[in-house]
Structure 1
Amino acid sequence: MNTWRARLLPPALAIVFSAVLCSAVLLISGADPIATLLEMVAQVGRGTTAVDIVNTAGAYYLVAIAAAIGFQMNLLNIGIEGQYRLAACVAAIVAGAVSLPFGLHAALVVVVGAVTGAAWCGIAALLKVYRGVSEVISTIMLNTLSIGLIAFLVRVFGEMRGNSQGTAIIPASGRVPGLPLGGAGTVFGLVALAVLVGVGYALLMDRTRYGFELRASGLSPTAARAGGVNSRRMILTAMLLSGAIAGLAGLPEILGRDHTFTINFPTGYGFAGLAIALLGRNHPLGVAFGALLWSFLDKSSLTLDNIGVPKEIVTILQGTIVLSVVVAYELVRRRELAAEQRRVGEALEPVAASGGERA
């Protein structure tokens, strides 16, 4: 009973708090909160919005799982933004340069994306393990370096098409077909990759020794080392795995829609992934819900702009939800801890009283 209360009460409190705060912001801006919410919900059934939400949520899910792996070890991989963009760029260059049979071609591109992301994150991992450099500082710097490296790669290996410069067009053998839904749009084929990553992450965390050691190292590094866990190995492998998954995040769009990497490739997924991982409490299902919610709110910004409501309300709502979840879980944790301490005290009272009587 207490377990379910600890799991369900924080999200409920977070939803109520964020709804109240955002309603207040909407009222201040002169908008009707109820009408705004109804419009946000109604837009899901229009055009390709629902499919767009799912497609974007797939990328969000991958970057959020990458962040969650770091969080399990108390590592903050700020470099997910650079990792997924650089991986998408390198994967697109390789995809456009080779010719392989259908299926094998796309599989190679996926491997290249994962290896590139892992290698770029591995730089920060090596700096932390062997030089004690904070992963926060190194990954932020690597984000900046990735911008210049991407520009260089696109310039050297790319080509001009109209007013945009991008990599060579990926041939049909390297593309991943999607699931067409008529007028509703096409679901990217590699959305299934996000599902597989989620299943693999769940099994890794809950059913393997490595997952246990990863969580143990995050909860108490000292106790984990005393139990024989190699802390350097755990940091290195966790960062490499986080980078590899981050490297997959840009591939659904590259292989399923754009078929090239351009300098206008979407940005911001990496930083959103950190917030989504916090929102989902690093749980695969919680992260999936968070990715869908974040994607839904992203698509709502255009709808709100069309009805005269400032689209910045969406950013406020996203930030409020994350803050509310963090605060709500902390409040419930402290409440549960205080209740447990009271129960222990009540259980020890008869023992203390009987000891006093014998004395």
Structure 2
Amino acid sequence: MNTWRARLLPPALAIVFAAVLCSVVLLVSGANPLATLAEMIAQVARGTTAVDIVNTAGAYYLVAIAAAIGFQMNLLNIGIEGQYKLAACVASIVGGAISLPFGLHAVVIVVVGAVVGAAWSGIAALLKVYRGVSEVISTIMLNMLAIGVVAYLVPTFGELRGNTQGTKIIPDSGQVPGIPFGGAGTMFGLVLLAAAVGVGYAVLIDRTRYGFELRASGLSSTAATAGGVNSKRMVMSAMLISGAVAGLAGLPEILGRDHTFTLNFPTGYGFAGLAIALLGRNHPIGVAFGALLWSFLDKSSLTLDNIGVPKEIVTILQGAIVLSVVVAYELVRRRELAAEQRRVGRALGTAAAPAAAGTGGERA
């Protein structure tokens, strides 16, 4: 019971605090918070918004799982942004350049994306393991380098279409059919891949020896090493797996809708993934709810201009959630620790009372 309270209470408090903060901002600006929320909820039922939320949540879920894998090892993989963009770019170039049977073509593209993401993340892992370079510094630098590499690859291996440059169109054999919902839109087929990754992550972390060693190394690398766990191997493998999952994040849109990578490809998924992983407490189900919430805020905010509310209020809400969730987790952790100390104190006091009584009887 206490475990579930410790998991659910912090994100709930964070969301409530963020909602209150945004309500205050809206009231100061002269807007009605309840009317704003009602408009955002109503937008979900309009057009293709509901399906768009699920599609974007699939990408958010993948980057958040990538971040969660690093968090389990106490690693901060800031480079998810560069990993998914570079992987999507290279996978699109390969997908547009080869010709394979239907199904196999898409599998090769997905594998290329995962390999590129893992390889790019592996650079930071090597620097940390063999040179002691902080993964925070190296992945930030690799993000900037990835932007430059993408800017070089797209014009070099792509083509000019209208006002933008993009890679060659991936042929039909490499595309992944979506799941149509009539006038509500089409869900990307690779959203199911995101769900499968979540299941695999849950099994890996909770049902395998590797997952136990990963969590043990994250809690205390010294204790894990004393128990026979190779800390360098755990750092390398965690970063590689994190990068591989991140490399999949851009593929649902490419294989399901765009069929090409352009210089206008969506950005910001990687940084959102870090926030979503924190919000979901690195738990696959919690991360799923966080991804849906983040996607809902993104998509439903598009209608706020219609009622005279700036859509930037959603950015304030998302930022407030990130800040408050960290504070909420710490407050709940301290409360649970204090409660545990009181329980231990009462147990020790109860055990000491009979012992003291027995000692007194012997002396008599």
In the superposition, the TM-score normalised over structure 1's length comes to 0.97
Residue 169 of structure 2 aligns with an amino acid whose one-letter code is: I
Would you say the 8 A contact 2:301–2:311 is kept in 1? Answer: yes
Q: Does the 8 A contact of 1:62 with 1:248 survive in 2?
A: yes
Deviation of 1:4 (Å): 3.4
Distance in 1 (alpha carbons) for counterparts of 2:294 and 2:329: 19
Give the SS at the match of 2:218: helix
Tell me, in whole angstroms, the C-alpha distance in 2 between the residues paired with 1:122 and 1:12. 35
Indicate if the aligned counterparts of 1:300 and 1:314 stay in contact, CA closer than 8 A: no
For the residue of structure 2 that corresponds to 1:195, the secondary structure is helix
Q: Tell me the SS of whatever aligns to 2:165.
A: strand
Partner letter of residue 161 of structure 1? R
- SS of the residue corresponding to residue 281 of structure 1 reads coil
Q: 1:220 corresponds to which letter in structure 2?
A: S
Distance 2:101 2:330 in 1: 52
Letter in 2 for 1:105: H
Cα pair 1:91 1:112 within 8 Å, conserved: yes
| Unaligned runs of at least 5 residues, structure 1 | none
The residue aligned with 2:276 is 276
Give the whole-Å Cα distance in 1 for the aligned partners of 2:21 and 2:6. 23
- Paired with 1:199 and 1:316, the residues of 2 have a C-alpha distance of 32
1:310 match: secondary structure: coil
Structure 1 residue 356: Cα displacement:
5.5
Secondary structure, aligned partner of 2:123: helix
- TM-superposed CA distance for 1:351, in Å, is 4.1
The 5 Å alignment of 1:147-166 reads 147-166=147-166
Q: Secondary structure at the match of 1:264?
A: coil
Question: 2:6 corresponds to which residue?
Answer: 6
Secondary structure at 1:169's aligned position in 2?
A: coil
> Residues 195-241 of structure 1: CA distance to partner in whole angstroms, max 9, x if unpaired?
01000000000110000000000011111001100000000000000
Aligned residue for 2:70?
70
Contact residue 11 and residue 280 of structure 2 kept, 8 A: no
- Spell out, residue by residue over 1:138-177, the C-alpha distance to the aligned partner (whole angstroms, 9 max, x if none): 0000000011101111111011111111111111001001
Partner SS, residue 234 of structure 1:
helix
Letter in 2 for 1:195: A
Matches within 5 A, 1:53-202: 53-202=53-202
Counterpart of 2:41 in structure 1 is: 41
- The alpha-carbon deviation at position 295 of structure 1 amounts to 0.5
2:294 equivalent in structure 1: 294
Taking the aligned partners of 1:353 and 1:94, their CA distance within structure 2 comes to: 74
- The CA distance in 1 between the partners of 2:352 and 2:254, in whole Å, is 68
**Does 2:211 align with 1:211?**
yes
Q: Counterparts of 1:275 and 1:115 in 2: how far apart (Å)?
A: 24
Give the aligned partner of residue 324 of structure 1: 324
User: In the alignment, is the contact (CA less than 8 A) between 1:79 and 1:121 conserved in 2?
Assistant: yes
Q: Which residue of 2 aligns with 1:50?
A: 50
The C-alpha deviation readout for 1:33-53, integer Å capped at 9, x for no partner, is: 000000000000000101110
For 2:99 and 2:333, locate their aligned partners in 1 and report how far apart those are by CA, in whole Å.
55
Q: Deviations over 1:64-95 (max 9, x none)?
A: 00000000001000000000000000000000
**8 Å CA contact retained: 1:189, 1:256:** yes
Helix, strand or coil for the counterpart of 2:255? Answer: helix
**In structure 2, C-alpha distance between the alignment counterparts of 1:343 and 1:247, rounded to whole Å:** 46
Deviation at 1:3, TM superposition (A): 3.0
Shift in Å, 1:344: 1.1
Q: Which runs of 5+ in 2 are unaligned?
A: none
Q: In structure 1, how many angstroms separate the alpha carbons of the residues matched to 2:145 and 2:5? A: 45
1:79 and 1:270 in contact (8 A); partners too? yes
CA distance in structure 2 between the partners assigned to 1:48 and 1:16 by the alignment: 28
How does the TM-score come out when normalised to structure 2? 0.96
Q: Indicate conservation of the 8 Å contact 2:80/2:243, yes or no.
A: yes
RMSD, aligned CA: 1.3
> What is residue 346 of structure 1 aligned with on the other side?
346
What is the distance in 1 between the residues matched to 2:316 and 2:32?
Answer: 16
Q: C-alpha distance in 2, partners of 1:86/1:221? A: 31
Give the deviation of 1:346 after TM superposition: 1.5
Q: Does the CA-based 8 Å contact 2:122-2:243 persist in structure 1?
A: yes
CA distance in 1, matches of 2:9, 2:64: 23
Judge conservation of contact 1:47–1:183 (CA < 8 Å) in 2: yes
Which digits, 9 at most, give the CA deviation of each residue in 1:77-136, with x for residues without a partner?
A: 000000000000000000000000000000000000000000000000000000000000
Deviation at 1:326, TM superposition (A): 2.1
% identity of equivalent residues: 84
What does residue 303 of structure 2 align with? 303
Number of residue pairs aligned between Structure 1 and Structure 2 = 359
